[in-house]
Amino acid sequence: MLFNSIEFLIFFPVVTLLYYLLPHKFRWFHLLAASCFFYMFFVPVYILILFFTIIIDYYAGIWIENSEGAVRKRYLMASIIANIGILCVFKYYNFFLDNMVFLFQSLNIPIASEHIPYLSILLPIGLSFHTFQAMSYTIEVYRGNQKAERHFGIYALYVMFYPQLVAGPIERPQNVLHQFHEEHTFKSSNLLAGLRLMLWGFFKKLVIADRIAVYVDAIYDHPDQFGWHNILLAIILFAVQIYCDFSGYSDIALGSAKTMGFDLMKNFDRPFISTNISDFWRRWHISLSSWFNDYLHTPICIAWRDYGQYAIIFGLLVTFFISGLWHGAAWTFIGYGVVHGVALTFEVLTKKTRKKVIKKFNKALYDRLSMLLTFTFLCLSWVIFRADSMSDIGTIYHQLFSFNTTAFQSLVMNSNMVEFGATSFAIAAVMILFMWVVESKVSYSLYELNDRPVADIILSSALLICILSLGVFNHNSFIYFQF
Amino acid sequence: MEKNEVLALVNEVFIDALDNEDIKLTEATTANDVEEWDSLSHIQLIVAVEKKFKIRFTSGEIHGFKNVGDMCDAIIAKLG
Amino acid sequence: MNYLARILVVLFVSGISCQGIFWLLDSHLQQYNVHKKERLDEIILGHSSFDILLLGSSKTHTGINPYYIDSITGHSSYNLGIEGGRVNEFKIIWDVYLQHHPKPKMLVLSANLFELDLRRGFFNHTQYFPYLENSIISQGLDAYGHRTDVYKTLPFLRMSDYDDYTRNNALKGMMHQTEIQAGDFQYKGFLSNGENTIREPLALPPKEDARISVGSVDLLKGIIERCQKDSIQVILVYLPEYDHRLQNNTPNAAEVLAVLKEVSDKYKIKFFRHDQLELCKRPDLFANAGHLNREGSVVYSKYLATVIKSELSK
């Protein structure tokens, strides 16, 4: 089930209401059943994959805790291999085959394409998210930071809790497991805070991201047919789109959990004010970047710490290569990760020099320029992320930097359509400005309640009105149309 | 060695490694309290501390550090 | 203030404001849609008798003027062309027309490249919102994910189904504009297309295949079968396009045309390829690659009328 579907509009109030009506001892079961229902809206049988990993990790956790020395590590390894194995089969198997075929063809080794055992399956939704959350559990038990969970239902709920099941935030057991044991009495403050955060998320998703997507998709579908100014606009708008889409989704997740008294971790923290790429990864998809930092990068650095900076750089490149692959089974995603890994390497190597330069500069000016440079880098790196193929990446950069307008394709077919596009852009621009003001200038945090009811009512009503009157609910909105 | 002495020496290491004269560590200090102390400098700090005291932490110990106090305890235990 | 009270105030304030905004947008949208209102009133609610119906997309809508059909054939005709229409919408318009009107003699059914491509729903679904009481209309919209039952109870939720095209039209209504541009006119469902002519280089949408969606051919067949059951004569017409530019811009054009030909053969109805007429080479008769301009619609309507006349007499 998607958050922006009519089904969720019924699912959410029913689940929240039942949660409070039921006595505490039945609530875990209610949430687990609701989460299964939520998940099974996509492809029902895939729930078996979830059950499989849940059973393995549940027992792995207990066995790790009960053993000593090398055996502990063996149980941890078994659990990690099982989790990554499932990820590889369902997400990376076909990609691996594609690359093998390409390799064989490049070496002129003939292969019959009909004999290649491709898996014809859809990618199970949220697989990368809940697999990582499950791995976080066994690793933390291994490290002694978390006691193994004995209640099977509650462990299953830790993996399957519907708000964060399909798109995060990727939680840590220390943060959420104890919350499932605690009894949450109904607090109207939680309901208000949660609903408000959901409104904010829906606003970003439906009013901004889905509106911009129409334009961005049109350009990225045919990058060779547009001039550099159209492409430049699409590249900048995609940065806004991906932020509004993903942070909006996270806010809805945090908000719907909050209505039932659960606190999930914050996943985004105004990423576009980042002054460098390391800063960016502390503000963007925080639950994923901290996962990679805690469980991959830091262990690599610790293990090879005698090599000093080389260990850090090696760790960064490995981590971001894998982080790119995590986003999707395609070379474009790997390219996106590697570009960021290289940028971070550059930042590590120039850290001391930059510190000296800052001292000679006007601090405010330096920060502004850094933000601009960082944003430019991000936009250019998201081209690699968004493009449909490696060759499209080349086309887009080529069109952009050749300042070529001759390939200009009219997006709009007649004067009627020109006005319609202009209205769409005008709404998007005003709403982006509104979001920017709220996120950077409003004196209180959207994540906490406050004692300014009037300001709060005005903001919340404005959001709800904008969602209902300007939200993009249908996907018919074509900026240009065929005859 | 007393815990206070260890803390003072660790403080010196931090000042050198992070290039910041203003750092004043307590046992409860965590990475969130020191601006330059991020995941990357963390490793450099560990290496510097190991050099200073001529000890070697296990990776399990390093993952277990929650604040400066934990690190000092581990150092004292190593020094015997 | 109590937190629950805050939630209720927000819901109340938003509900009232949205209803107000809806009234404002909806009334101005109706003012803008003067032409759509007149023809949909006739198609959905009217009872008048016509002999020849012209069903198709905007190519039909702005390309065939019933005035010339009437005067040359001596029969009464009406233009049912729907902006951005595809076979799914043709079927609904045809069913809803036959609900209250006497049976006509002939249906002139448009064949074009994209009418079998049902990847999107209706191009301008909001034009039907004033007619949700009609069950063919409401069921037709429901089939494409529009929630007409909800819109009937909470009218302001219709706004959630507006697109920026609709919002822009409401905005134009507020500025006292209507969809009939200065100098244009409407006549029996027809809307004239302005006096623009083709200028090179011609702007075209990106090259793209016209999908033949699952079930789309059956919808087309459904229209024809219903006519043959009621003994209404059908002819299939590919309307003029400038210099085959749309076909050249659609890599699988030949495949789509073959499917349309197959349908016409199966039901033994004539398939006229008017993209092959001499007039298709004249840039002065077209507003853009796919649409005749005002002058072009006069020339073509006269020609089509002679075709209809000779077919009717058979």
| Residue A303 confidence (pLDDT) | 85
Q: Under an 8 A CB cutoff, do A482 and C205 touch?
A: yes
State the DSSP string of A416-427: HHHHHHHHHHHH
Q: Under an 8 A CB cutoff, do C164 and A427 touch?
A: yes
Question: Which residues of C fall within a CB distance of 8 Å from A414?
Answer: 287-288
HSE of A304 in the Cβ direction (CA atoms, 13 Å)?
14
A113, pLDDT greater than 70: no
Q: Under an 8 A CB cutoff, do B64 and A143 touch?
A: yes
| Residue A30 confidence (pLDDT) | 94
Tell me the range of A158-162, A210-214, C147-151 where mean pLDDT is highest: A158-162
Q: How confident is the model at residue A445 (pLDDT cuts 50, 70, 90)?
A: low
Rg of chain B over CA atoms, in angstroms? Answer: 11
Q: Which of residues 376-435 of A touch C (CB under 8 A)?
A: 409-410, 413-414, 419-420, 422-424, 427
Q: Which chains reach chain C with 3 or more Cβ–Cβ distances below 8 angstroms?
A: A
Q: Which residue has the higher pLDDT, B15 or C299?
A: C299
List, for residues A273-322, the tens digit of each pLDDT value.
Answer: 899 998 899 899 999 999 998 899 888 888 888 887 888 889 899 999 99
**Domains and their CATH numbers in chain B:** 3-79 (1.10.1200.10)
Tell me the range of A423-437, C61-75, C176-190 where mean pLDDT is highest: C61-75
| Residue A478 confidence (pLDDT) | 44
* Mean pLDDT, chain C, integer: 91
| Residue A405 confidence (pLDDT) | 64
List, for residues A194-204, the tens digit of each pLDDT value.
Answer: 999 999 999 99
Tokens (6 digits) for C173: 């209504």
Angle formed at CA B56 by CA B50 and CA B61, multiple of 5 degrees: 100
| Residue A475 confidence (pLDDT) | 57
List, for residues C7-21, the tens digit of each pLDDT value.
Answer: 899 999 999 999 999
Report ipTM for this prediction.
0.79
* Mean pLDDT, chain B, integer: 82
B53, pLDDT greater than 90: no
Residues of chain C with pLDDT > 90: what percent?
A: 69
| Residue A256 confidence (pLDDT) | 94
How far apart CA C67 and CA C294 sit, in angstroms, is 13
* Domain range list for chain A: 6-186, 189-268+412-470, 271-401
Tokens (6 digits) for B4: 């206070």
A224 vs chain C: nearest CA distance in angstroms?
Answer: 9
By C-alpha distance, the chain B residue nearest A316 is B40
Q: Is B47 on the interface with A (CB under 8 A)?
A: yes
How far apart CA A131 and CA A81 sit, in angstroms, is 11
Q: Which residue has the higher pLDDT, A400 or C94?
A: C94
C164, pLDDT greater than 80: yes
Question: Range of C176's domain?
Answer: 3-312
As for how many domains chain C has, the answer is: 1
How many A/B residue pairs have CB atoms within 8 Å? 36
Residues of chain A with pLDDT > 90: what percent?
A: 45
C97, pLDDT greater than 60: yes
| Residue C283 confidence (pLDDT) | 92
CA distances from A50 to A46, B19, C281 (A): 7, 48, 63
Catalytic (active-site) positions of A? 327
A411, pLDDT greater than 60: no
